[in-house]
């Protein structure tokens, strides 16, 4: 019973249906063709709701109605349904994307940009920092930093984090106009995965990233820390980042 409940719950999520729709659809799949009354008896869905559910499933393209007395319903192959669901999700995503692109042209959005431009003048940029907890969150923040970088990205990494950094940089290796350098121990992955990124062999005692000479992220927890307890510090301060870069460049001499 529990397995059946979980099966129906999974179908709800995968095919974006409600519980009545899932019950009717799976009942029809088990029969191939059936009337509304038969499906109500098999599925346990109340007869008063069965016709509404069947109508909805037909509109969504999950079933076909066969005219006759009584009216019966045919089940389509799950493979066909899956392709339709994928297409619907893709069309929906493209529609939403276009909708959000149009928002940029609205007066409301321009007002938001104006508020930001005038508001940031009252913020002390050198004090902007925060801690990030959890390896997944740290990786996500690093990807966000790389995605918005415009000119340069510099990684200094220990041997424990080398492969991880390579994976994070892989999607940005060919980013136009971005100069990326990794300072860290030698790894075969550099030549195989990051051909467009300069590598300087260096024995680092810590791992950090700077972008565009203005933002920096330090991984401050031990390399052996559990993923959920990894801690990083993010700092948005051109003055501080420049000072660290000067010290780092001195250490290379």
Average pLDDT, the chain: 83
pLDDT value for 122: 52
pLDDT value for 59: 86
Across 46-59, average pLDDT: 89
* Fold match, 2-80 / 127-252: no
- Is a pLDDT exceeding 60 seen at residue 123? no
- The residues that bridge with 179 in the sheet, in sequence order, are 152
- Is a pLDDT exceeding 60 seen at residue 2? no
Q: What is the tens place of the pLDDT at every residue in 210-220?
A: 999 889 999 99
Instruction: Please tell me the class of the 2-80 domain.
Output: mainly alpha
Rounded-to-integer distance, Cα 201 and Cα 203, Å: 7
- Is a pLDDT exceeding 80 seen at residue 48? yes
Rounded-to-integer distance, Cα 35 and Cα 43, Å: 12
**Residue bearing the bigger pLDDT, 193 or 44:** 44
Confidence of residue 124 (pLDDT cuts 50, 70, 90): low
pLDDT value for 132: 92
Take residue 51 and report the two structure tokens written for it: 């016709």
Across 144-164, average pLDDT: 87
pLDDT value for 3: 61
- Cα–Cα distances in Å, from 123 out to 119, 214, 236? 7, 15, 12
Confidence of residue 231 (pLDDT cuts 50, 70, 90): very high
Domain boundaries, the chain: 2-80, 127-252
CATH topology of domain 127-252: Endonuclease; Chain A (3.30.870)
Confidence of residue 195 (pLDDT cuts 50, 70, 90): low
Half-sphere exposure of 219 (CA within 13 A, CB side): 30
- Is a pLDDT exceeding 60 seen at residue 126? no
**Residue bearing the bigger pLDDT, 119 or 187:** 187
Residue 231: name the closest of 101, 133, 146 by CA.
133
Coil, strand, or helix at residue 225? coil
pLDDT value for 194: 65
Across 94-123, average pLDDT: 77
Residue 130: name the closest of 220, 10, 246 by CA.
220
pLDDT value for 86: 86
């Amino acid at each position: 019973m529990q397995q059946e409940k979980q099966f129906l719950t999974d179908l709800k999520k995968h095919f974006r249906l409600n519980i009545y729709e899932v019950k009717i659809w799976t009942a029809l799949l088990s029969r191939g063709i059936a009337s509304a009354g038969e499906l109500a008896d098999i599925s346990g869905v109340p007869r008063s709701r069965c016709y509404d559910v069947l109508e909805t499933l037909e509109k969504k393209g999950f079933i076909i109605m066969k005219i006759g007395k009584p009216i019966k319903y045919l089940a389509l192959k799950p493979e066909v349904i899956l392709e339709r669901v994928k297409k619907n999700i893709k069309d929906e995503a493209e529609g939403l994307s276009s909708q959000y692109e149009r928002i940029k042209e609205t007066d409301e959005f321009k007002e938001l940009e104006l508020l930001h431009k005038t508001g940031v003048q009252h913020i002390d940029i050198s004090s902007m920092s925060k801690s990030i907890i959890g390896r997944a969150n740290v990786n996500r923040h690093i990807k966000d930093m790389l995605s918005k970088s415009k000119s340069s990205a510099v990684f200094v990494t220990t041997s424990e984090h080398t492969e991880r950094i390579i994976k994070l940089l892989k999607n940005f290796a060919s980013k136009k106009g971005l100069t990326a350098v990794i300072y860290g121990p030698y790894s075969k992955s550099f030549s195989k995965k990051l051909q467009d990124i300069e590598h300087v062999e260096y024995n680092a005692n810590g791992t950090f990233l700077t972008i565009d000479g203005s933002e920096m992220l330090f991984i401050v927890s031990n390399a052996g820390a559990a993923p959920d307890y990894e801690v990083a510090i993010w700092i948005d301060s051109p003055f501080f980042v420049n000072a660290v870069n000067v010290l780092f460049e001195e250490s290379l001499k």
